[in-house]
Structure 1
Amino acid sequence: MTAGDHGAPTSGDSYLPAHGNGGYRVRFYDLELDYKVGPGRLAARARITAVATHALSRFTLDLHGLRATRVAVAGKQAKHAQRAGKLVITPARPLPAGGVFEVDVRYGGSPGPIPTPQWGDLGWDHLDDGVIVASQPLGAPTWFPCNDHPSDKAAYRVVVTTGSAYHVEVTGALTSRRSAASTTTWEYVLPAPTPTYLLSLQIGRYGTFTADTPVPQRFAVPPRVAAAARHDFARQGEMIAAFTTLFGPYPFPTYAVVVADADLDAPIEAQSLSVFGTNHVDGHRGSENLIAHELAHQWFGNSLTVAEWKHIWLNEGFATYAEWLWSDLAHGPKADVLADRAWRSVATQPQDLILSAPGKDNLFDDRVYQRGALTLHALRKELGTDRFFQLVREWTREHEHATVTTDAFVALAERHAGKSLAPLFTNWLHTTALPRL
């Protein structure tokens, strides 16, 4: 924290300290968005319910590229200023430690993404005829004021009004849809604790269909690829059943898939929703490994969210290993074969990455994915398959809708092993040299 009773304008994250803020924890975001697709204009209101972790005479929210026009705290107008991606708020009266307070922000403008040298454009972006939101790891402030750090998980209500020609998908359950004149208003509610980067909004001229499986699935896709998408995602219900057996109960009431009307470099994960590009739909299940990967993130990354970005291997290692597990179950190459291929691939790359602390620039490096999955495969060989999946199911149960760290995973693994696993984890997680399988 900064001196006095000001909330720090930083999360203290070792990789992305400028995103996130100190002095409070958010409980609930209530967002109302009015968006005109043609001119790309947004008029919005955010009501944020939070708890002060210490007395506050000033605090900050993350907001990028949009202008706040009015701010109130506890029903009283508050002074505000914007600089360096922060909305600085000074309430009329200081907030007491432990007190619950509400922030009301009116804001708007022409939302657009944050350009980054490592990951391209992040956040709110424009399709030829619609909107795509890809917020991981720092794009959420491009469309709503927030405490943009994965450790601050909250519930959401999101109301979006836009042209009636467009379909709107938001993470959560659709609770109402009503039309008036040429616009339609969509209301989604997401009660599960969710970090800001996993809140997603997609707008496009999409057709929809559903799949009747134990976990209800919904799909929004461009009509021209609907038949291919039905085929490519037809086994997703089987995946959910298989992963439920391996990982524990699916952590959300529903699962949604959007095929955005664009080619994407990679799919986008969000809470109970995944976004693919039309290039991931070919009618031949050519991207089924990616379908498995994004589904697995609902357990690893979404329900269990990293407490800091340096623990990213816990997200991507498990999701990549889920690809291998599904291949094994679906009569493709066995996990042992895929592990051997991954090991050979990583062995040809520079040996300068420490998996437990890959560094900001390497957050989404392929070695994090592949070496993370290899670490889990090595652990499975050490524990045996039965004990390994007992560990995984306890991991997802103990930390459901919470945050996780590498140390916590290692401690639980050693409990299941009944001994220290220091040699295994030191070699795989904390050194640069690639161990042999």
Structure 2
Amino acid sequence: MKKLIIASILFAGTSLFAQETFTRKDSLRGSLRSERTCFDVLRYDLNIKINPLEKSIVGYNDITFKVVENTSKIQLDLFENMKIDSIVLDAKKLNYKREFGAVFIDFPSPLIQNSEQRIRFYYSGNPIIAKNAPWDGGFVFNKDSNEKNWIGVAVQGTGASLWFPCKDSQTDEPDWGATLKVAVPNGLMDVSNGRLIGSEDLKNGYTRWDWEVKNPINNYDITVNIGDYVHFGENYKGLDLDYYVLRENEAKAKIQFEQVKSMMDCFQSKFGAYPFATDGYKLIETPYLGMEHQSAVAYGNKYRNGYLGSDLSGTGIGLNFDYIIIHESGHEWFGNSITSKDIADMWIHEAFTMYAEAVFIECQYGYEKAQIYINGLGRNIRNDKPIIGNYGVNNEGSDDMYYKGALLLNTLRHVINDDVKWWKLLLDYSNTYRHQIIDTEMVIAFFNRESGRDLTPIFNQYLRHAKIPNLEVHTDEKRFLSLKWKTDEKNFGMPIEVTINGKMHRILVSDKWTETKEKIKDTFGSKNFNTNAFLYEFSIHP
């Protein structure tokens, strides 16, 4: 979750955005050059101290990596405002140069292919403070009701190098996981990803909390949560569920977090086993709304159903569940387990996760309510620009990746028109790409192969163009009905369900006029089409 912008007006495919321009800074952050592709990160071992009074971080990251190609230089990343104290290999300081957020590290002799290396990157500074997390990246330094420090961080899209040195690209996750050793003032607790492996009073007014992640993890998922937390939890059907909440909210949390069980039952039945069982599942109360931090989901919905107490679909159905619990936990499958190589393809995270909300509703309340909910989300679609962003420059596409992306998946379900095949396809997709990094082309190829259909033009129209398909309807002088899709994508074809003279017909419509053999006797308009199954616009030609 990064952006959820609600728009009540559906712009009919109009383009309201200017051509974007990108800089050297953007390409250094988003592209893959030899200094990045020459090595593969194996592990991060963070050891830091966070000072709430100074709003500062000091410490180091041990970065273990495998050399993929012989090289004398690699690129790591750390935001410009953060200070590099030194970078060390085998007790010797390395030379480096900084260009914007990129740190180019030189080695005195070439690193040999297939060798394993470990450098220690010492750093310090005051990380950027978010103005409105999680929509802008940064730290949140807050106080709880007892005036105790309450701190969190959310950096999706902005980049994890905002607060720790790393290879800040979604193409590379530490294969062996990570450890996070975080020292915070006595009386506070840090909760990070994975499992707690110990704590130590450092005898200097700070206690260090040590966490270990066994699985590969996205950089932006790595997190700290600092507060006066109480802990409760249970083992549910073999999976550890742990909750960390502010002391005064324990009673409310024990009631609200019961939703996790039905969510786990639903998602595991539809998307496969929880992807990070070895690291457990946690919900952690945060001073911002929420974020899908792997095995440490940030929760800030204030123990209310809906999204901040409202329903994004406008149907009332969204008030039956806590949006942050369901949506952010859904990212454990889509975003954390299955990750896009480039943030231009973030729809792979957001579309599937928002669709998972409707899946949860269908598990709980049935198909009809799920369809009402997901189509209600359509009111938030803006059709402002393509869902897919620009590759190689750290650029996300339209926020329509959420709502329009979810409705695209719902449309594909009804194009396939076989629920047994559909649910098997989703389950196989989740399992096939479990703990993998993929791109749009891989998603489309999988759906084509498993559905036995060429869905490429449909994917392309919804993902690569701002406009949605427009169904053009024409009746001739004899009142025979003809249909055609008007799209940006060539060779577009998609079925539609239409009621003609009181009888339902399923007609495959292409980007050329398709004439039916039915005469129109009744008044004909948009109400004759099934708008619950497909995402499109509608126009009548005289």
Same fold (TM over 0.5): yes
| Identity fraction in percent | 24
* 2:386 paired residue number: 354
Q: How many residues align?
A: 420
Question: What is the aligned counterpart of 2:141 among 111, 126, 129?
Answer: 126
Distance 2:90 2:336 in 1: 31
Q: Deviations over 1:112-164 (max 9, x none)?
A: 34789x98541333223232110202331122110001111112111112222
- 1:244 deviates by 0.3
Instruction: Give the number of the structure whose alpha-carbon radius of gyration is greater.
Output: 2
Contact 1:112 1:126 in 2 (8 A): no
Query: Counterparts of 1:287-298 in structure 2 under 5 Å?
Result: 288-298=322-332
Residue 425 in 1 paired to residue 459 in 2?
yes
- 1:206 deviates by 1.7
Q: Could you say what secondary structure the match of 1:144 adopts?
A: coil
Residue 109 in 1 paired to residue 125 in 2?
yes
Give TM-score, length-normalised by structure 1.
Answer: 0.87
* 2:197 paired residue number: 175
Distance 1:364 1:335 in 2: 27
* 2:210 paired residue number: 187
Residue 249 in 1 paired to residue 273 in 2?
yes
Contact 1:210 1:217 in 2 (8 A): yes
Residue 340 in 1 paired to residue 362 in 2?
no
One-letter amino acid of the counterpart of residue 65, structure 2? A
- 1:75 deviates by 4.0
* 1:399 paired residue number: 433
Contact 1:77 1:91 in 2 (8 A): no
One-letter amino acid of the counterpart of residue 372, structure 1? G
Query: Counterparts of 1:312-331 in structure 2 under 5 Å?
Result: 312-331=346-365
Q: Could you say what secondary structure the match of 2:164 adopts?
A: coil
RMSD: 2.9
Distance 1:352 1:328 in 2: 30
Return 5+ residue gaps in structure 2 as ranges: 1-23, 144-148, 310-318, 470-533, 536-542
Q: Deviations over 1:364-406 (max 9, x none)?
A: 7542101111111111112222211211111121211110111
Contact 2:362 2:369 in 1 (8 A): yes
- 1:97 deviates by 3.1
* 1:227 paired residue number: 251
Question: What is the aligned counterpart of 1:31 among 30, 35, 46?
Answer: 46
Greater Cα shift, 207-216 or 194-203: 207-216
Contact 1:74 1:101 in 2 (8 A): no
Return 5+ residue gaps in structure 1 as ranges: 1-8
One-letter amino acid of the counterpart of residue 337, structure 1? I
Q: Could you say what secondary structure the match of 1:93 adopts?
A: strand
Q: Could you say what secondary structure the match of 1:238 adopts?
A: helix
* 2:513 paired residue number: none
Distance 1:121 1:289 in 2: 20
Question: What is the aligned counterpart of 2:74 among 59, 71, 74?
Answer: 59
Residue 381 in 1 paired to residue 381 in 2?
no
Distance 2:26 2:390 in 1: 19
Summarize the Cα distance change of 1:110–1:356 in structure 2 as closer, same or farther, 3 Å threshold: closer
Question: What is the aligned counterpart of 2:163 among 138, 143, 160?
Answer: 143
* 2:225 paired residue number: 202
- 1:344 deviates by 4.3
- 1:288 deviates by 1.2
Distance 2:388 2:162 in 1: 29
Q: Could you say what secondary structure the match of 2:298 adopts?
A: strand
Distance 1:366 1:211 in 2: 36
One-letter amino acid of the counterpart of residue 338, structure 1? Y
* 1:409 paired residue number: 443
Summarize the Cα distance change of 1:82–1:125 in structure 2 as closer, same or farther, 3 Å threshold: farther
Query: Counterparts of 1:34-113 in structure 2 under 5 Å?
Result: 34-64=49-79, 65-113=81-129
- 1:106 deviates by 1.7
Residue 160 in 1 paired to residue 174 in 2?
no
- 1:224 deviates by 2.2
Q: Could you say what secondary structure the match of 1:318 adopts?
A: helix
* 1:4 paired residue number: none
Contact 2:161 2:168 in 1 (8 A): yes
Q: Could you say what secondary structure the match of 1:178 adopts?
A: strand
Contact 1:10 1:17 in 2 (8 A): no
* 1:367 paired residue number: 400
